[in-house]
């Protein structure tokens, strides 16, 4: 099957202007695929804000019957047809079930299904039991039904029981597909925006950057650990820049103030993705304190592409990204003291030591995660899934 001949439907719970990583990944694939000549349509829910230009891709923003957090119920997803392939961005509560329902139709079953697996569902409080039940029931069925499953890394896939079983039984079904980064947009440059000066940060300061969506759906980003680490560091030279939006922001502002470091934690609010490189270039290092179910923080490779040394919590997925001691440092999840010690190590390394790590990280980002490489790999995954589905339909 030649390239340019695919009719692709992306099914995603979120899509820009919502700032989550899964939606941004969908946006990058959809727009690039449309530029290559594929017919691309995206099916998603509306989001507040100014949407980016989707290029030649068609974006259907469908009002849901109901929505629970980032889980919109859009019944028409079960009736999607006329495509060579459905690209389901998982997790997508309701969307996954409706996709399975649609495949009960012999006509719609001719469409290949590729599941782009990002992370498990792990909830807090009342959601914990419901999400655990979902992971034991719906998720394995979705993976079992798919023609191909894209996983962010082999390390991450091995940490999820139903993915590990799939890899053991049908290794060709799992395709390693890491997140991508625009290495032209995210590149090492000076702080041309003068962000440090605008925030009143002195030249002698050490600036740590943190970026995430801080809503309840992203409770695992753990900015509280970063703030606690800064408070325990005991070094007034260190400032934390937080490029984040979401309903949890006020809680973190209160935490920083209560810890006596409110003047050194700078909350920028939500930052458009196109402006995030300017934030990263104002920093001396990047901090990722998130923990499972996070699988592969996109902002981590964006920081590396900008030439920043990184500190990240160690869990499946991140181990495939950060080369400990070479491009950054890995620390135990949920441990503010370990984070503080890592910051001390990078301060002691000086500009030259941090610069060597940043250069190594930049080289790794260009080699492994630049978008053109990933679009090629996804084309190959589509071709395999479509060929297998058509062979099975004969």
One pLDDT digit (tens) per residue for the chain, 394 residues = 445 589 999 999 999 998 777 898 999 999 999 999 999 999 999 998 888 899 999 999 999 999 988 899 999 999 999 999 999 999 999 999 999 999 988 788 899 999 999 988 877 777 788 888 889 999 999 999 999 999 988 888 988 999 999 999 999 999 999 989 999 999 999 887 889 999 999 889 999 999 987 777 666 788 999 999 999 998 999 999 999 888 888 899 999 999 999 999 999 998 888 899 999 999 999 999 987 656 667 899 999 999 999 999 987 778 888 999 999 999 999 899 999 999 999 999 999 999 999 999 999 999 999 998 899 999 999 999 999 998 875 4
Q: Is the dihedral of CA 218, 92, 142, 136 positive or negative?
A: positive
Question: What is the distance between the alpha carbons of residues 192 and 335, in angstroms, rounded to a whole number?
Answer: 34
H-type alpha helices, the chain:
21-35, 95-102, 127-145, 154-158, 161-169, 195-198, 223-233, 249-258, 276-281, 298-305, 336-369, 371-393
> How does 118-146 read in b/e, with b if 16+ C-beta sit within 10 Å?
bbbbbbeeebeeebeebbeebbbebbeeb
- The whole-angstrom distance between residue 158's C-alpha and the CA centroid of its chain comes to 19
Domain 195-369 falls under CATH 3.50.50.60: no
**Following CA atoms 309, 313, 315, 320 in sequence, which dihedral angle do they give, to the nearest 10 degrees?**
0
Predicted pLDDT at 217: 66
Angle between helices 161-169 and 127-145 in degrees, nearest 10: 10
Predicted pLDDT at 342: 97
Predicted pLDDT at 2: 43
Question: What is the distance between the alpha carbons of residues 103 and 113, in angstroms, rounded to a whole number?
Answer: 9
- The whole-angstrom distance between residue 232's C-alpha and the CA centroid of its chain comes to 29
Predicted pLDDT at 31: 96
Predicted pLDDT at 295: 63
Task: Give φ, ψ of 206 to 5 degrees.
Answer: -105, 120
- Pick from 293, 313, 303: which is nearest to 225 by CA? 313
Phi-psi region of 26 (alpha: psi -120 to 50; beta: other; left: phi over 0): alpha
Domain 7-180+371-393 falls under CATH 1.20.950.20: no
Enumerate the domain spans of the chain. 7-180+371-393, 195-369
Predicted pLDDT at 1: 41
pTM greater than 0.85: no
Work out whether strand 71-73 and strand 66-68 pair parallel, antiparallel, or are unpaired. Answer: antiparallel
Predicted pLDDT at 193: 80
Angle between helices 21-35 and 371-393 in degrees, nearest 10: 80
H-type alpha helices, 146-215:
154-158, 161-169, 195-198
Q: With beta carbons less than 8 A apart as the criterion, state whether 137 and 129 touch.
A: no
Burial class (CB in 10 A: 0-12, 13-18, 19+), 353: middle
Is it true that 7-180+371-393 and 195-369 share their CATH fold? yes
Work out whether strand 174-176 and strand 148-151 pair parallel, antiparallel, or are unpaired. Answer: parallel
Give the number of other CB atoms < 10 A from CB of residue 264: 23
């Amino acid at each position: 099957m030649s390239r340019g001949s695919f009719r692709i439907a992306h099914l995603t719970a979120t899509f820009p202007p919502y700032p989550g990583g899964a939606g941004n990944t969908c946006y990058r694939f959809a727009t690039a695929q449309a530029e290559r000549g594929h017919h691309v349509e995206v099916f998603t829910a509306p989001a507040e804000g100014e949407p980016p230009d989707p290029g030649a891709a068609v974006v259907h923003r469908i009002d849901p019957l109901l929505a629970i957090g980032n889980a919109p119920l859009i019944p028409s997803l079960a009736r999607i047809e006329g495509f060579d392939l459905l690209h389901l961005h998982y997790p997508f509560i309701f969307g996954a079930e409706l996709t399975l329902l649609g495949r009960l139709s012999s006509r719609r079953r001719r469409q290949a299904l590729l599941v782009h697996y990002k992370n498990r569902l792990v909830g807090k409080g009342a959601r914990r039991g419901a999400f655990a039940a979902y992971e034991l029931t719906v998720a394995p069925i979705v993976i079992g039904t798919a023609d191909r499953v894209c996983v962010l890394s082999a390390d991450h896939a091995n940490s999820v029981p139903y993915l590990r079983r799939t890899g053991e039984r049908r290794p060709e079904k799992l395709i390693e597909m890491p997140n991508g980064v625009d290495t032209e947009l995210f590149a090492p440059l000076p702080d041309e925006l003068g962000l440090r000066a605008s925030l009143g940060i002195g030249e002698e300061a050490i600036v740590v950057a943190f970026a995430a969506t801080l809503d309840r759906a992203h409770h695992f980003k753990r900015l509280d650990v970063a703030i606690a680490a800064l408070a325990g560091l005991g070094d007034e030279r260190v400032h934390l820049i937080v490029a984040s939006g979401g309903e949890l922001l006020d809680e973190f502002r209160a935490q920083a103030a209560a810890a006596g470091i409110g003047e050194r934690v700078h909350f920028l609010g939500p930052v458009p993705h196109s402006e995030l490189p300017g934030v990263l270039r104002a920093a001396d290092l990047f901090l990722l304190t998130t923990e499972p179910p996070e699988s592969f923080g996109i902002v981590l490779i964006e920081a590396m592409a900008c030439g920043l040394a990184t500190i990240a919590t160690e869990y499946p997925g991140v181990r495939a990204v950060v080369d400990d001691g070479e491009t950054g440092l890995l620390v135990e999840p949920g441990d503010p003291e370990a984070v503080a010690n890592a910051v001390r190590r990078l301060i002691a390394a000086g500009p030259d030591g941090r610069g060597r790590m940043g250069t190594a990280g930049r080289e790794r980002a260009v080699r492994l995660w630049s978008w053109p490489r990933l679009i090629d790999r996804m084309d190959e995954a589509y071709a395999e899934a479509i060929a297998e589905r058509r062979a099975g339909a004969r």
